Amino acid sequence: MGYPTLLQRPLPLLRHRGGVCHIIAVRDDGGAIVSIVPLWILFLTILSALLLGSLPQCRAMSFYDLEAVNIDGYRVKLSAYKGKVTLVVNVASKCGLTDRMYKELVSVRESYARRGFEVLAFPCNQFHDQEPDSNADIKGFARSYNATFPLFAKTTVKRPMCTHDPSANSLLCGPTSEECCAFNNQIYEYLMSISNKPVEWNFAKFLIGRDGGLIKRYQPVEGPRTFTREIERALASADTGDGDGDGDGDEDGDGDGDGDEDEDDMSHGSSDGGSNPTTESFSDEM
């Protein structure tokens, strides 16, 4: 079989060609050349493998690794809430759900704050312009409900997100678009990435565990009084629900919090623990 003369001779390891040293791979059983690779590529490949192997594994980002701007314009590290169970909710002042949700958020927060529960509220005007006012006005509105939980600067919670040029997105943020804080977009970009679906309306809720993992996501019409059992379970354990961070609520059930409930706490929950999603349509409360 007529292989060229070159292939019938032993191949050198290195060959100089065009001013560049190449490494020539060994022949396979048939005697053909497998490949010719520039030496510098091989060197970089080996070096990269060594460097990557020596680096520590990157820690997956959690909710508490993020930062946000609060209602007064100050940047806040969410790591300040690490070790707490938090409920993240996009609020609006002129929604049909507003009165009921604000009352329940205030009530449930008061019941569980001493045990490490907090509500983090993010105003948003993306749903039928139902949060059109300035941050100062929103803060005053929340105080009318005696809300003392943290409020953050008005932001966008669904794509397209407002940008650092608010004038280009005035329809998203309403007449006071300059109040819309693009920095806070990262909060909902992160939440959407781990819950795998967009925010559908005002008052969507995300229950975050003590370590920053998503325990469960609740629909806008589900008031926090309907899932106090799950809040108690999260408070009773350092774990984050089912442990996989996808918010499907597939928990292991090892510690439901029944042992340390008191009458006041139970008065804010439903008789069955409220774990089943409500069938009420939020279109009736728009």
pLDDT tens-place values along the chain, 286 residues long: 554 444 444 444 445 555 544 444 445 555 545 455 566 665 676 766 555 554 444 444 789 999 998 999 899 999 999 999 999 999 999 999 999 999 999 999 999 999 999 999 999 998 998 998 889 999 999 999 999 999 999 888 887 666 655 444 444 444 444 456 777 888 998 998 888 888 999 999 999 999 999 999 999 999 999 999 999 999 998 544 444 444 444 444 333 434 343 433 333 333 333 333 333 344 455 6
184/164 same-domain check: yes
Q: Is residue 232 part of a domain?
A: yes
121/235 same-domain check: yes
Q: Is residue 85 part of a domain?
A: yes
Domain count, the chain: 2
Does an H or E element contain 245, and which? none
Q: Is residue 285 part of a domain?
A: no
Tokens 């678009």 found at: 177
Cα separation, 200 vs 255, in Å, equals 32
232/182 same-domain check: yes
The active-site residue out of 95, 162, 180, 181 is: 95
39/174 same-domain check: no
* Two tokens, residue 271: 């008789």
65, 116, 142, 165, 222 from 231: Cα distances, Å: 22, 10, 23, 38, 13
- pTM of the entire structure? 0.63
Write the DSSP symbol of residue 30. Answer: T
Write the DSSP symbol of residue 56. Answer: P
Q: Is residue 31 part of a domain?
A: yes
166/200 same-domain check: yes
The pLDDT, as a whole number, for residue 263 is: 36
The pLDDT, as a whole number, for residue 144 is: 98
Q: Which structural domain range is residue 20 located in?
A: 5-52
32/141 same-domain check: no
Burial group, residue 78, by CB count within 10 angstroms (0-12, 13-18, 19+): buried
38/85 same-domain check: no
109/219 same-domain check: yes
211/148 same-domain check: yes
β-pair partners for 152: 70
Are residues 123 and 138 in contact, defined by beta-carbon separation less than 8 angstroms? yes
Q: Is 95 an annotated catalytic residue? A: yes
87/31 same-domain check: no
Q: Is residue 42 part of a domain?
A: yes
Query: Which amino acid type is present at position 87?
Result: L
68/29 same-domain check: no
Tell me, what CATH number does 81's domain have? 3.40.30.10
95/219 same-domain check: yes
* Two tokens, residue 90: 């996009």
The pLDDT, as a whole number, for residue 185 is: 82
**Given 52, 72, 88, which residue is the final one in a domain?**
52
